[in-house]
Amino acid sequence: MAIVQKKRLGDILIMAEKITPFQLQSALKTQKILGKKLGEVLIESGIVSEEDIIDAIEAQTGIKKIDLNNIVFDKRAIKIVPQNLCNKYNLIAFGFEEDKIMVALGDPLNIFAIDDISISTGLSVKTFIAPKNDIDKFVKINYSSEEVNKAAEELLKETLEAKNIALDVEEIDDVKNAPVVKMIEYLFRNSVEMRASDIHIEPYEKEIRIRYRIDGELTTVNTLGIESLAPLITRIKILANLNIAEKRVPQDGRIITRVGNTDVDLRVSVLPIVNGEKVVIRILNRDSYKVGKERLGLSKENLRKLNNIISSPHGIVLVTGPTGSGKSTTLYTILSELNSNNVNIVTIEDPVEYTLNGINQVNVNTKAGLTFASGLRSILRQDPDIVMIGEIRDEETAQIAIKAAITGHLVLSTLHTNDAPSSMTRLVDMGVEPYLVATSISGIIAQRLVKKICNNCKEEYIASDYEKSIFNVDSKEVLKLYHGKGCGHCNNTGYNGRIGVYEIMEITREHRDAINKTRDSNVLMDISIKHGMTTLAEECKKLVLNGTTTIQELATITLLRDI
C-alpha cells in the first residue's frame, strides 16, 4: 500500500491515458497560481471528469471505488472517526474488515489523511475512493444524527444530575453550549438534512420518542429518558415565544431559523397529553414553493386543463385533498403564476406559510376576531382581482366566497374531499344553494402525493397475476414493474421524494345542470370522465407503469379492489 500511496495523481492519469504530459504541465502551472488541488484544476478546466479520476486511480492503484449510496453505514465506525477529520480530508468511515477500518476518501492518495485516521482510531486503514459530493452528503447525514445522539446523552446526564434542582429558564436561553440548546439545534439540522417535513416529540410513561415524517411516513430516529422532557419542551417554547409556565392548554408558535444555506420556517404545535406535552414541528422549506407549475408532476393534458381553469377572470378554483397532500404548494404555485403588476391579489390564510412578494397576505387571528369569514368581508372592500382563502371550513365562508366569485372575482381555496366531483356536493351539504355552486365553480383540482422510487436502487421485476389484473393485462402476458430495493441514498426505504397525482375537473354546462338536479357525486364523476377527466387512480397507474412509483403507492390513492 505504501508504494501505491507514493504515486502522484498526474502520473496515474497519464498512465491511464486520461491526460497528456502537456495538459499535466499546464494544469500544474494553474495549480500554483490558484492554490487548489490538481484534481480540482483538471475537473474545473474540463480536461477530465471526477469519474475519470476515480476510474484511473482504481485501475492504476487497485484502490476500489465504492458507491456510498448502496451501503449500510456501521455506526461504530462513525463514532470513532472525528467529524473534523472527515471535513478536513473529505472522507467517511463506513465499516470494519477484520482489524481494519474501511474509509472512503475523495483523495485516497493523501497519506496524511490515512495516517491521521490510523492514529485517531488505533486501527489499520483500508482505503476506498468515492465521489466527493457523496462523501460530503453522508458526512452531514451521519454526523448530524450522531450529534443528536451525543447531545441527547449529555442532556439526560445533566437532567439526572440536576433532578432536584429547579429549572433555570434564563440559563437555558443564554448558554449556547447547554446540552438542551445543542440538542434542539442538532435536531433541527438533522431533520432538514434527512428531508423531514415534521418532527414529532412524544412523551410516554418512561421515555420520549422522537420521530421524523419523511416522504409521508413517520420514522423513529431517537428515544430519550422522560427526565429530559421539561428542558426540551421549555427550550422549544422559548424559541417559539410561547408561555413556558402554561402546560394545560394547547399552544401554537413559530421559529424562523437558517440551517446551512436554507431558510427554514418551523411551525410549532404544543398539545398537553397524559404524560406531558407533545410537540409537533412542521418544517416549511421556503424554496419548496418556488417549483413552478411545470414541475408539480402534472401530465401535459392536466397542465393544459390547469391553464384553462386559472385563466378564467372569475369563479372559484378549488384544490382538494387530505392534510399533507401538497395543496399549499399547488396554491402558491398558481398564485405565483397569476402574480403581476396589473392585478391586486389578497389572501387570507391560517397560517401564512410563505410570503410572496407583490401579494397582500392576511393571517387569521381567531383570538382577535379575525376569522376566514370576517377577514374575507374586509378583503372584498380592498378592490381585489384575485382572492385566495386558505380553506373553506363552514357555510359562512363558503357563501362569501361564492358571492365574491359571481361578482367578478377569481377565488382560490382548498376543501377536504376525497375526489374532485364530491367537492361540489360538499358545498351543497354545507348549506350553499345548488344553483350558486353550479354558477360559481370554474374548476376543481383533487390531488395526492405518492412516493417516488429511488433512482439509485430502482430495480425491475415481473408483475404477479394479481398485479396484472389491476392493469387489465392478461395473465399470460409479461408485465414489468419497478420498486426500490433500498440503499443508503434513500435510507433503505426504496423511495426518495414525492410527486403529485392530480384529478382536474373542468366544469361544463352538463356539470351545472347535474348539480341543480342531483347531489350524487357519482353522476358528476361519470360526466367528468366523459369530458376527459383522468381519475387519481388512473393517473397513478401511469406513474406505476413508467417506473416513477410502486403499486403499493397506488393502494394509498384508492382501494385496489375498486379499480
Per-residue pLDDT tens over the stretch 59-72: 888 899 998 888 88
Give the number of residues written for the chain.
Answer: 563
State yes or no: pLDDT of 514 exceeds 50: yes
For residue 241 the three cell numbers come to 415565544
Average pLDDT over residues 88-110: 91
Architecture of domain 9-132: 2-Layer Sandwich (3.30)
Tell me which residue of 278, 282, 142, 307 sits closest to 212, measured CA to CA.
282
pLDDT tier, 195 (very low <50, low <70, confident <90, very high otherwise): confident
Report the pLDDT value the prediction gives residue 4, as an integer from 0 to 100: 42
CB 459 within 8 A of CB 485: yes
**Residue 340: count of CB within 10 angstroms of its CB:** 9
Dihedral-angle region of residue 127 (phi above 0 means left; psi in -120 to 50 means alpha; beta otherwise):
beta
State yes or no: pLDDT of 164 exceeds 80: no
How far apart CA 229 and CA 231 sit, in angstroms, is 6
Which of 82-96, 131-145, 306-320 bottoms out in mean pLDDT, i.e. has the lowest?
131-145
Distance of CA 144 to the CA centre of its chain: 17
Cell 401511469, residue? 542
- Alpha carbon distances (Å) from 308 to 304, 317, 337, 440, 506: 6, 11, 13, 16, 8
Tell me which residue of 129, 102, 107 sits closest to 118, measured CA to CA.
102
pLDDT digits (tens, 9 = 90+) for 205-245: 989 999 999 888 898 888 888 888 888 999 999 999 999 99
Q: Indicate the average pLDDT of the chain.
A: 86
In percent, the amount of the chain with pLDDT more than 70 equals 94
pLDDT digits (tens, 9 = 90+) for 340-388: 899 999 999 887 878 888 899 998 888 788 888 888 889 989 999 999 9
Question: Domain spans of the chain?
Answer: 9-132, 175-285, 293-451+498-535
How far apart CA 290 and CA 337 sit, in angstroms, is 10
Report the pLDDT value the prediction gives residue 286, as an integer from 0 to 100: 64
State yes or no: pLDDT of 172 exceeds 90: no
State yes or no: pLDDT of 192 exceeds 60: yes
Domain 293-451+498-535 indexed as CATH 2.40.50.100: no
- Alpha carbon distances (Å) from 88 to 85, 337, 465, 503: 5, 44, 54, 50
State yes or no: pLDDT of 91 exceeds 90: yes
CB 63 within 8 A of CB 129: yes
pLDDT tier, 177 (very low <50, low <70, confident <90, very high otherwise): low
Peptide bond into 82 cis (omega under 30): no
For residue 278 the three cell numbers come to 407533545
State yes or no: pLDDT of 57 exceeds 90: no
Report the pLDDT value the prediction gives residue 509, as an integer from 0 to 100: 93
Burial of 463 (0-12, 13-18, 19+ CB in 10 A): buried
Report the pLDDT value the prediction gives residue 5, as an integer from 0 to 100: 44
pLDDT digits (tens, 9 = 90+) for 107-133: 888 889 999 999 999 999 999 999 998
In percent, the amount of the chain with pLDDT more than 90 equals 42
For the packed helices 229-239 and 132-161, what is the interaxial angle rounded to 10 degrees?
120
Q: Is the dihedral angle over the CA atoms 428, 432, 436, 437 positive or is it negative?
A: negative
State yes or no: pLDDT of 169 exceeds 50: no
Report the pLDDT value the prediction gives residue 288, as an integer from 0 to 100: 60
Report the pLDDT value the prediction gives residue 166, as an integer from 0 to 100: 44
CB 298 within 8 A of CB 502: yes
Tell me which residue of 358, 298, 365 sits closest to 329, measured CA to CA.
298
Report the pLDDT value the prediction gives residue 290, as an integer from 0 to 100: 61
State yes or no: pLDDT of 168 exceeds 60: no
Q: Please, what's the largest Cα pairwise distance for the chain? A: 87
Helix (H, G, I), strand (E, B) or coil at 231: helix
Mapped to the 3 state alphabet, what secondary structure does 179-197 carry? HHHHHHHHHHHHHHHCCEE
For residue 82 the three cell numbers come to 472525528
pLDDT, greater one: 549 or 285: 549
pLDDT digits (tens, 9 = 90+) for 443-486: 999 999 999 999 888 999 999 998 998 898 888 889 999 999 88
Report the pLDDT value the prediction gives residue 244, as an integer from 0 to 100: 92
What one-character DSSP code corresponds to residue 156? H
For residue 367 the three cell numbers come to 383570538
**Residue 220: count of CB within 10 angstroms of its CB:** 11
Which residues have a Cβ under 8 Å from the Cβ of 398 and sit 6 or more positions away?
392, 427, 430, 431, 432
State yes or no: pLDDT of 201 exceeds 90: yes
Report the pLDDT value the prediction gives residue 181, as an integer from 0 to 100: 86
State yes or no: pLDDT of 3 exceeds 50: no
Tell me which residue of 70, 49, 58, 57 sits closest to 11, measured CA to CA.
57
Q: Which amino acid type is present at position 134?
A: D
Which of 154-168, 177-191, 212-226, 378-392 bottoms out in mean pLDDT, i.e. has the lowest?
154-168
Tell me which residue of 443, 453, 478 sits closest to 464, measured CA to CA.
478
Average pLDDT over residues 392-410: 90
State yes or no: pLDDT of 104 exceeds 80: yes
Report the pLDDT value the prediction gives residue 165, as an integer from 0 to 100: 43
What one-character DSSP code corresponds to residue 70? G
What one-character DSSP code corresponds to residue 534? P
Cell 433532578, residue? 163
Fold entry, domain 175-285 = Beta-Lactamase (3.30.450)
Residue 200 phi, psi dihedral angles, 5° rounding:
-110, 125
